[in-house]
Amino acid sequence: MKIVRGINFIEGSREEELPNFESNFPYIASRVELNQYEEDSIPWHWHKSVEVFYVEQGNLEYRTPNGHYIFPQGSGGMVNSNVLHTTKPKEDNTVQLIHIFDPSFIGGETGNIIVKKYIMPIITSGELDMIPLYSNNLEQKEILDLIRNAFNLSEKEFGYELKLRERLTEIWLSLFKVSFSVIEKKKTSTRANDRIKLMMVYVHENFADKITVSDLAKVGYISERDCFRVFQECLHMTPIEYITNYRLQKACYMLVHSKDTISAISQECGLGSSSFFGKTFREHMGMTPMEYRKNGGIVIYKGIKKIFYSLKLQYDDNQEQNISFMKG
């Protein structure tokens, strides 16, 4: 099991890049030590794989475009494929155990009876963003025990891959049973998740150019009014705030990793004139772009040093990987 203290994104999107996730063995087991993250929450992201988790210690908050969930110690759940989500520890030393796997690992080739009968009804359900599980419910507690015990398997154990698939299959079948009641309780929009992802990707691909709320609304196939509503409901900020935050993230990275002038960086990041860039940067970062560059990307925020342009993703096997980070 790998110890994770950060998150990596695929270039130009909020899709998480999963290290060491191979097509011939699409599975990762992770121990996420949330108190080790540079920021106080994990940014909005999604992944094509399914996420099944157990809160080993502390208290954890999950948000999706369709809901808000609190998971105390001993609880857990499943985040469905391609669902945008963010997490935030509500207590110090919160630890989360996560299985991330492609459903093909248990279902086999696309189109077979297992995939059609047991996999597709879950991963194609627009209403099923998450299945929360709590230990005070006997049926759900049994599933939580299955999730927790699956982490006890050792990669060195004889037949590890087959035993793992067997346990994940048992977990999936149990989740399949409870999914129907979860779907019935859903009353929120099922399209917000796809719409916000389309608009986020548009920002990531066009941040250097002028972007209006009208542009985003067209990409998301919604009105400008609904565009504001979706951003507030999903990301708790306005479209303009999101655009500005993303541009500043790019500017922070360039200030540290390039020798371009302040004026050039301002233009390349869509932040206009150098004077406007300086004003906006100071409002968000508490210092000028030049001061940020001289400090190597480190700012003092409420007495705590924080690095905004990049983080390190570290594993227990001493591998390291640079990752981008968006403030907010």
CA atoms within 13 Å, Cβ hemisphere of 47: 24
pTM (whole model) above 0.75: no
**DSSP-derived 3-state class of residue 100:** strand
Residue 196: φ, ψ to 5°: -65, -35
Residue 79: φ, ψ to 5°: -105, 125
Which domains, from first to last, does the chain contain? 2-185 (2.60.120.280), 191-231 (1.10.10), 237-328 (1.10.10.60)
How far is the C-alpha of 117 from the C-alpha of 124, rounded, in Å? Answer: 12
How does pLDDT run along the chain (328 residues), one tens digit per residue? 665 556 666 766 667 777 777 888 999 888 888 776 656 678 888 888 999 999 999 999 998 887 789 999 999 999 999 888 888 898 888 999 999 999 989 988 877 899 999 899 888 887 788 999 999 999 999 999 999 999 999 999 999 999 999 999 999 999 999 887 776 555 444 567 678 889 999 999 999 999 999 999 999 989 999 999 889 877 888 999 999 989 998 999 899 889 999 999 999 999 999 899 999 998 888 889 998 888 877 654 444 344 444 332 222 333 332 323 333 3
